[in-house]
Amino acid sequence: MEITTVAIVTGASRGLGHALARGLLQPGTQLVTVSRSHDEALAQQAAQAGCNVQQIQSDLANPAAAERLAAQIVANLPAGAQRYLLINNAGTVGPISQTDQLSDAAAITAAFSLNVTSVMLLTTAFLQTVKPLGADCRILNISSGAGRNPTAGWGVYCATKAALDHYTRVLHAEEHGVRIVSLAPGVIDTGMQQTIRSSDVHDFPNVARFTQLHDEGRLTSPDETAARILRYIDRDDFGSNVLDDIRNYA
């Protein structure tokens, strides 16, 4: 079967990443997923959908692992597809703590490695591989409103997402011939939200708001958000707004 789209999705084992991976299971698609575990159900769904899927297990919080992964992925990307897509979705909200208590260097470093460093490494490898192909190439970085609005207790999360946003703007300014967006996906009913709701109020004073959003059913589902994001990626004007929010679109 002719491959028309090559798509790479990180953090694909659960939540939004899992929903995005399932939404990309289409005939003619070569899907590469990155997560810390193998998903047999996804493999079966891919076979039923006539989609090729390669699942790679890696911990992107480890810079050396992320570097090896980047080399592994690009070494196996097929040439000749019409579109190449990289979705940098993997991320963590932790460590959650007030600034005067942020003393765990390993946890802070792991968060930056996952939320920022792995994105940069994968993007570099992706660009080096796809730019010579002359195809439609799109990069979507899953960001957060936290990168654009300071939130008490989220010093690390806000800093990493702000870094991701600005890195995306730099990449756009360099004009590599790819379309790139850093997208806030809204408040989604995922494991990350469970982590947020379980936070100590002294570490995260805004915990009551997120508990209320959940109790009132105001969180969007991963499947609904993924469907909206995949429609957004397909838009002709994708990349015209480098920093965007999926809530701006139906």
- Length, in residues, of the chain: 250
Catalytic amino acids? 157
pLDDT at residue number 217:
85
| CATH number, residue 22 | 3.40.50.720
Per-residue pLDDT of the chain (250 residues; tens, 9 = 90+): 678 999 999 999 889 999 999 999 999 999 999 998 898 889 999 988 889 899 999 999 999 999 999 999 888 888 899 999 999 999 999 999 999 999 999 999 999 999 999 999 999 999 999 999 989 999 999 999 999 999 999 999 999 999 999 999 999 999 999 999 999 999 998 888 888 898 888 888 888 888 898 888 888 999 999 999 999 999 999 999 999 999 999 7
Q: What are phi and psi of 198, to 5 degrees?
A: -90, 0
Q: How many domains does the structure of the chain reveal?
A: 1
Which residues make beta-bridge pairs with 29? 5
Write out the residue range of the structural domain in which residue 25 sits.
5-248
Please indicate, yes or no, whether the overall pTM of this predicted structure exceeds 0.85: yes
CA-nearest of 86, 83, 69, 61 to 181 is: 86
pLDDT at residue number 9:
97
pLDDT at residue number 1:
61
pLDDT at residue number 197:
92
Segments in the chain forming alpha helices (H) = 15-23, 40-49, 63-75, 105-112, 118-130, 155-173, 191-197, 207-215, 222-233
**Rounded CA separation 151/174 (Å):** 30
